Chains A and B, each alone.
Chain A
Amino acid sequence: MIEYFKEIVEGAYTLAVGMGITFVRMFRRRVTLDYPYKSLTMTARYRGHIELKRDETTGQPKCVVCMACQKACPSGCIKQLDGQKPEGAPRKVLTAYMLDFTTCSLCGLCVESCKFDALAFSHDYNLTSMRKEDYQTMDLLKRVGGAK
């Protein structure tokens, strides 16, 4: 019999504690952001789609078209990777870099395989499009980022 009343009192007490917690929470600072108007800066290790790094001095992509990233990619996302060597230039210059982002799993093997520090993950997470083709052929040469 005592157990019965003990259970009632304990039950009521725990319920009151729970409601107290939610009550205090009502007056705490909000943690969410008004997203389309404000957004957070991405953390340094965020993995967006890959992007080509720019050479600080020349402004050109650092890529030397060694094809290591294309070989490293397990899903064959890097569709077209072309370059040519202009007269007198010390190395090849990139002319096309097409990424199929729809099959990319962001494993990062391409970034790791790059010996010339020419690839990086971008921090762009606001990607949207109404057409699948936009991401099946992403022209990275047009998107040469400012990633350091």
Chain B
Amino acid sequence: MTEGMLMNLVRLLLYLVGMIGFAAFNAAYLTLLERKQASWMQLRRGPTEVGPWGLLQPVADGVKLMSKQLLLPRDVDVPLFLLGPIMVVVPPILCLVTIPFSETVVARNYNLGLLMIFAFGAVSTFALMLAGLASANKFSSIAAARIVAQNIAYEIPLLVIVLSLVMTTHTFNLHTIVAQQAGGFWHWNLLKLGANPLMPVAFLIYFICLLAESNRAPFDMVEAESELVAGVFTEYSGMGFGLFFIAEYVNIVVGCCLATILFLGGWHCPFGLLPGLHWFLIKMYALCVMVVWVRWSFPRTQFYGLLNLSWKYLIPLALANLLLTAVMLKLF
């Protein structure tokens, strides 16, 4: 084995461990953020018992989930039922591979990184549907059907928005997209009004689609506790259930990373000072806080309301945005 190969192998392993660690840490502490922020909005205190200010609560939750029994209900499709949680959790972690956290911190800088993320995002949805169908439970089946309708509806505006963005950046390479936004915040894609005056609207549409794609309230039709018990997760227990939650939070992280990269200038500082990893993380976590904030502000919509929002408002707006971008590109 040559030295180059060995170095490559070590690099690969380090990135693997790093990515899984990053995903697990975020999943754990975003649950705490969610519980704390929700309690603040409701004038409560949230978890305070485990560790200082409840900071070790995720550890307690994890131990509790892992120590629980994994139940296999009688009529389930066993291989699919067991495969479901794994297939849900792997794609978002894979997506992290191509995300440039800073100029130098990126596991693999693919030329088609943006496409790869959307491809794996679709697999995650597919896996949720499979888990729902394999559960042999009426609530899970309804939820599985809903997921398909919801994700078709929201994938379209999402992709159209990203398409119009790619038309202005001329590349699918995430690293290059961020590099193009160097300088102050007026260089960010969010405010690149010369290329497309509707950029802020595009960002809003992206954000709404991000909420829907990661199945967050007010679009959490997958779970819908009040109607479907726990939707797709109804028959899962212990860590099988836990994996779905890890996947949900890692999906949010991936979505927020992508929003940071596409619209908010990635690792660049708003004032041109000290670019680096910290700016990326600040922007990314600010978006995560936004996601939680939205969840605890609005009640869940009805299913037709969800579809109406997409087909009647988001898709026409996204298409108009695409058209405008094309016209602006041709004119200027």
Contact = CB atoms under 8 A, between A and B. Distances in A.
Contact of A34 (B40, B48, B294): B48
Contacts of B40: 25-27
Most B CB contacts (10 A, CB to CB) among A19, A27, A29 go to A19
Q: Which of the four size classes fits the interface of chain A?
A: 10 to 19
Interface in B14-45: 37, 40-45
Given A8-B313, A19-B293, A34-B48, A26 B41 contact: yes
B43 A22 contact: no
Given A18-B297, A18-B298, A25 B45 contact: no
A11 B213 CA distance: 21
Interface string A11-48: 00001001101110111111110100000000000000
A18 B43 CA distance: 16
Taking chain B's interface residues, is the majority helix, strand, or loop, or is none over half, making it mixed? helix
B45 A30 contact: yes
Contacts of B45: 30, 32, 34
A25 B313 contact: no
Contacts of B285: none
A15 B298 contact: yes
Contacts, number: 33
Given A32-B44, A32-B45, A26 B298 contact: no
Contacts of A23: 293
Nearest to A31: B43
B277 to A, nearest CB: 27
Nearest to A17: B297
A32 B293 contact: no
Interface string B204-246: 0000000000000000000000000000000000000000000
Contacts of A28: 43
Contact of B42 (A15, A25, A27, A29): A25
Nearest to B298: A18
Nearest to B294: A19
Contact of A30 (B37, B43, B293, B313): B43
Nearest to B313: A8
A118 B298 CA distance: 53
Contacts of B43: 25, 28-32
Contacts of A15: 298
B296 interface: yes
A21 B43 CA distance: 12
Contacts of B37: 26
A39 B313 CA distance: 50
Interface string B162-181: 00000000000000000000
A30 B40 CA distance: 7
Contact of B297 (A8, A22, A27, A29): A22
A8 B48 CA distance: 41
Nearest to B290: A19
Nearest to B40: A26
A9 B177 CA distance: 31
Interface string B42-78: 1111001000000000000000000000000000000
> Which 10 A-B pairs rank lowest in CB-CB distance, beginning with the nearest?
A22-B297, A26-B40, A31-B43, A22-B41, A32-B44, A19-B297, A18-B297, A25-B41, A30-B45, A26-B41
Given A15-B298, A30-B44, A32-B45, 11 more contacts: A19-B297, A21-B297, A22-B41, A22-B293, A23-B293, A25-B42, A29-B43, A30-B45, A32-B43, A32-B44, A34-B45
Interface of B: 37, 40-45, 48, 293-294, 296-298, 313
